[in-house]
Amino acid sequence: MMALRFSIFIFTISLCFIFDFQAISAQRDDEDVTIKTMEEFSGYPIHEPIYPNSLSSLSVNSDSLQKQIDELATFSDSPAPSVTRILYSEKDVLARRYIKNLMELSGLSVREDAVGNIFGRWNGYEPELAPVLTGSHIDAIPYSGKYDGVVGVLGAIEAINVLKRSGFKPKRSLEVIMFTSEEPTRFGISCLGSRLLAGSVQLAELLKKTVDGQNISFSEAAKFAGYGNAKGDLSEVFLKKGSYSAFVELHIEQGPILEKEGTSIGVVTAIAAPASIKVTFEGNGGHAGAALMPERNDAGLAAAELALAVEKHVLESGSIDTVGTVGILKLHPGAINSIPSMAHLEIDTRDIDESRRNLVIEKIHQSALAIAKKRKVILSEFEIVNQDPPALSDESITKATELACQELNLTHKRMISRAYHDSLFMARISPMDMIFIPCYKGYSHKPEEFSSVGDIANGVKVLALTLAKLSLS
């Protein structure tokens, strides 16, 4: 009886401990003894949040991480230093296998969905709570670099390793994701995996009849890579809103601001709203020498004039945040001595203000109509392929990230992302934020793309500490 009273007394006293995060480093040893005593007397395991025991314990294995970045870059269809890794290609399949292996080596439980989004989970001690998600993509457009997206996947796995080495125990589960096809290279659809996760019924239906430039269907390509299902139903990829409590994506800036200002970390507050437009003009064509200038219906010149009109409307928007690019311009028949009988343009325009971007699109459309009339050509196509809204970061995640920067003594600034990312679509599922690190001269989508080992390590530390805070929330 006396032993029972004593055990109840010890158990009651133990429950009175208050865990102050500022003092946990000094209390760690006593805390472990207390938990052990509580477990022995109660007969049940008792879990309490264990914060990283000191900021110095957040050690990034930079050499290993850089080696992984370099190794992943070898899975490429173009020679080094460039990287070409197209969705569901042989090199893409090998790279996926590499990522899954790293997840397993880090003790994560790995699963994949029907389009190849790869998830690696570290279970928290309250696994019924909505997890915290982090990650990015590893596909690469032709002749690009080895850091875009990759830093956010390999860096996320290393962030988990950092927390494990520090002794941290997550309350909410932490999960790493590798998104399928952030780049639109093969099927012309950007952020394919995250769009489907966000529940795009339209995309799920479109993919049933989508083919690539070699007339290979999406379903055939997916099957080659080991994905898809017998019914061809991609709705099983959809996630419900609230499936995750937070999503954080680590990424190179892809712009020059952080490097120019000497700032370590960019905390993203908004992601610009992208839109893509396809335009086709049709004229009569003819011999470059025989057809007189006043009698020509030159589709190529109509396209050139529209390209300049895009620049004009963007510059007149009144905001530096409005941008527009004619990234594709194809002429038919494509001979030096033949007047173009057809011209096809693909236009990218984006802004953090959706209404301002939409006004630019309308002005581009009106210009296309006017140019066609003036040059006596036919505007046979003006299609808005996608017109996505912008995404705002969640203030609570932004503040957690800023606090992590302060605790790590890293300079930081709030900024917008003019490039768009899988985060844009994950914002439809859960609160979202992004962490930017500097990159050399802002270069991206080219072989010269580069971020230093130190900058990557800083990003991983900020990500790890942010994940820890979000996991315990």
**Residue 423 and residue 379 share a domain:** no
Collapsing DSSP to helix, strand or coil, 99 comes out as helix
| Model pLDDT, residue 286 | 95
pLDDT tens-digit map of 281-335: 999 999 999 999 999 999 999 999 999 999 999 999 999 999 999 999 999 999 9
Mean pLDDT confidence for 345-361: 95
**Residue 335 and residue 244 share a domain:** no
Question: Do the beta carbons of residue 462 and residue 437 sit within 8 Å?
Answer: no
**Residue 397 and residue 360 share a domain:** no
**Residue 145 and residue 97 share a domain:** yes
pLDDT tens-digit map of 117-154: 999 999 999 999 999 999 999 999 999 999 999 999 99
**Tokens standing for residue 26:** 């000094």
Which of residues 324 and 57 earns the better pLDDT score? 324
Question: Do the beta carbons of residue 447 and residue 143 sit within 8 Å?
Answer: yes
Count the domains in the chain.
Answer: 2
Instruction: Determine, yes or no, domain membership for 129.
Output: yes
Whole-model pTM: value is 0.83
- Residue 346 pairs with which residues in a beta bridge? 278, 328
**Residue 395 and residue 333 share a domain:** no
Domain that holds residue 346: 274-387
| Model pLDDT, residue 299 | 98
Q: In terms of DSSP bridges, do strands 109-112 and 118-122 run parallel, antiparallel, or are they unpaired?
A: antiparallel
| Model pLDDT, residue 233 | 87
Instruction: Determine, yes or no, domain membership for 38.
Output: no
Of 150, 352, 409, 179, residue with least CA distance to 254 = 150
**Residue 295 and residue 201 share a domain:** no
Residue at a domain's end among 333, 368, 387: 387
Instruction: Determine, yes or no, domain membership for 34.
Output: no
**Residue 279 and residue 267 share a domain:** no
User: What is the biggest distance separating any 2 CA atoms in the chain, rounded to whole angstroms?
Assistant: 113
